[in-house]
Amino acid sequence: MPSWLILVIIGVVLVILGFSGVGTFLLWIGIAVLVISLILALAGGRRRV
C-alpha cells in the first residue's frame, strides 16, 4: 500500500476517534506526499519521452 494512502487512512481514523489535531496533521501530510509523488511521476514521465 502506498505511504500516502496509509497516512490518509490513519488520519481519517484519528479524526473520527476524536484526535482531530493529530488526525488532520496526518491527513495533510498524506495529501502532500500524494501531490509530490504525482508531480515527480509526471516530471519523470516527460523526461523519458
Asked whether residue 39 carries a pLDDT value surpassing 60, the answer given is: yes
Mean pLDDT of 1-23: 85
Confidence of residue 35 (pLDDT cuts 50, 70, 90): very high
Query: In angstroms, how far is CA 27 from the centroid of its own chain?
Result: 7
On whether the pTM is more than 0.85, the answer is no
Q: What is the pLDDT of residue 8?
A: 87
